[in-house]
Structure 1
Amino acid sequence: MAGLLDGLRILVLEDEILIAMDVEQICRDDGAAHVVIARTLEEAEAAASDSSFDAAIIDLRLGSVSTLPFAARLRDRGVPFVFASGYTSLGEIGVSFPGAKIVGKPYAGDDILAALAEARAQIV
């Protein structure tokens, strides 16, 4: 049975390595061809400039640093993404990214996959 991510290239922007590795495995198990983990905005920017991605999973905050500017750049490039966050006050996302897919932490793999599929369907 084909996975939702078969053959896709996925960027995971997450500063907690165990969570990032878990998300990477979820994506690979679902058929992603290439998964890149970035733990800082600098790593994410470098990865995004070196490669094109079919979708991204973005933690809302990396420590005290907001990832919203990076998400805006992905949106401008037409790259679908979902936010994965442990923060409960997500009003800032609704204002800047109406309709954005948000998956609360802790989350199940199916939650991430379903949100990515929805985000990709909105762009395609």
Structure 2
Amino acid sequence: MTTILILEDEPFIALDIETILEERGHGDFVTFSTKTEADIWLKENTPPVAIVDPRLSDGVCTGVARHLVDRGIPFIVYSGETESVSELEPAFAQGELLMKPTAPEVLVDAVERALNCFEARRNSAS
């Protein structure tokens, strides 16, 4: 599966991420604004990469972060918070941190690094 998971509760930021990914050829993604929706989706799906705002409208995405780490799914922590997200949940330290706002090419480079990491892990497991 090549669907990129996006967790973002600010509609304009989510749309911006989606547009950036589409313009760079990454058009297969799913976007959720709550950790509850993401938790449900992750029970049946394994994305190759996730872009995660750690604090969504229904709370901190601790379960999502733990799930991504446990499944070996690379992820990008896309946050506007100045506090350390790893203090919210230590699993966030396993993701690549990008502060909002970031340049589109920085976001795309991070996504492509994560996709390459996922592919390398998948190939080594084969």
TM-score band, normalised by the shorter chain? 0.7 to 0.9
The one-letter amino acid paired with 1:92 is: E
Structure 2: state its 5+ residue gaps: 121-126
- 5 Å-filtered alignment, 1:40-119, equals 40-63=34-57, 65-90=59-84, 91-92=86-87, 95-119=90-114
C-alpha distance 50-118 of structure 1, shift in aligned 2 (>3 A): same
Give a deviation string over 1:36-85, Cα, whole Å, max 9, x none: 01000111122222332111100011147111321110111121110000
Give the counterpart letter for 1:35 in structure 2.
Answer: F
Q: Which runs of 5+ in 1 are unaligned?
A: 1-6
Query: In 2, Cα distance between the equivalents of 1:46 and 1:64?
Result: 14
> Residues of 2 paired with 1:50 and 1:36: CA distance?
13
TM-score (norm 2): 0.79
- Summarize the Cα distance change of 1:8–1:27 in structure 2 as closer, same or farther, 3 Å threshold: farther
Return the letter of the residue paired with 2:77.
F
Relative to total residues, which structure has the larger helix share, 1 or 2? 2
Shift of 1:97: 4.3
TM-superposed deviation, 1:99: 5.0
* SS of alignment partner, residue 78 of structure 2: strand
Aligned residues: percent identity?
32
Q: What is the root-mean-square deviation in Å for CA atoms of aligned residues?
A: 2.3
TM-score by length of 1: 0.80
Give the Cα separation in 2 of the matches to 1:30 and 1:9: 14
Post-superposition Cα deviations, 1:4-44, rounded to whole Å, max 9, x if no partner, equal xxx93101000111111111111122212411010001111
